[in-house]
């Protein structure tokens, strides 16, 4: 368990991966923590993880990994990546449920909820405030049709201008009300054990 800590990687935007925090432990609990970096800031590497009231900030795939992770009441901030923003850019949040996305820098061009990092990727956003900075497509393919047949990307009960699903990619889903419980803290990561 970690509480009231800041994890930061100060590697600049011109570098590649810049992990600020990596967790491999089962039933990780992080509360009131801040994670700052550029690309690949928070590496939820494996097993079950729970983040509550945390702040996570940066740009490319800044939450990623193979864990079953829940982000509850967290603030997810997308920030400018390039040294030359006129080139245009794409930023992706690759994460799982219960998030808030907002407050982008004005020159960030395209922001997506996520993209498949590997086969069988699963990302859901439930009850989140999604601001207008989210591209109407919502989700970005990694490369061609890689992993599109094995992924599950879902949304439910989100609010804000970025939550409009009318232009979402065809391979994302609206989670039916009767299935939302599957992604609860108790069911998804067995947090009641």
Residues serving a catalytic function are 40, 61
User: Where do runs of H (alpha helix) occur along the chain?
Assistant: 185-188
Q: Which two tokens stand for residue 137?
A: 């497509």
Would you say the C-alpha torsion 161, 38, 88, 94 has a positive or negative sign? negative
Q: What is the DSSP letter of 35?
A: E
CB distance 22 to 45 below 8 Å: yes
CA distance 6 to 166: 37
CA distance 16 to 160: 31
CA distance 193 to 179: 21
Q: Which two tokens stand for residue 106?
A: 């004005």
């Amino acid at each position: 368990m970690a509480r009231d800590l800041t994890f930061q990687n100060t590697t600049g935007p011109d570098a590649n991966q810049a992990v600020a925090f990596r967790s491999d432990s089962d039933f990780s609990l992080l509360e009131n923590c801040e994670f700052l970096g550029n690309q690949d800031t928070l590496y939820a590497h494996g097993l079950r993880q729970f983040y509550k009231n945390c702040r996570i900030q940066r740009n490319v795939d800044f939450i990623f990994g193979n864990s079953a992770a829940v982000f509850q009441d967290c603030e997810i901030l997308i920030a400018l990546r390039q040294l030359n923003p006129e080139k245009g850019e794409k930023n992706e949040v690759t994460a799982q449920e219960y998030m808030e996305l907002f407050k982008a820098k004005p020159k960030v061009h395209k922001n997506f909820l996520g993209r498949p990092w590997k086969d069988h990727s699963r990302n859901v956003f439930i009850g989140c405030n999604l601001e207008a900075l989210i591209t109407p497509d919502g989700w970005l393919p990694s490369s061609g049709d890689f992993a599109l047949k094995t992924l599950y990307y879902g949304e439910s009960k989100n609010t804000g201008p970025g939550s409009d699903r009318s232009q979402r990619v065809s391979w994302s889903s609206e989670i039916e009300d009767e299935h939302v419980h599957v992604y609860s803290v108790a069911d998804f990561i067995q947090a009641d054990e």
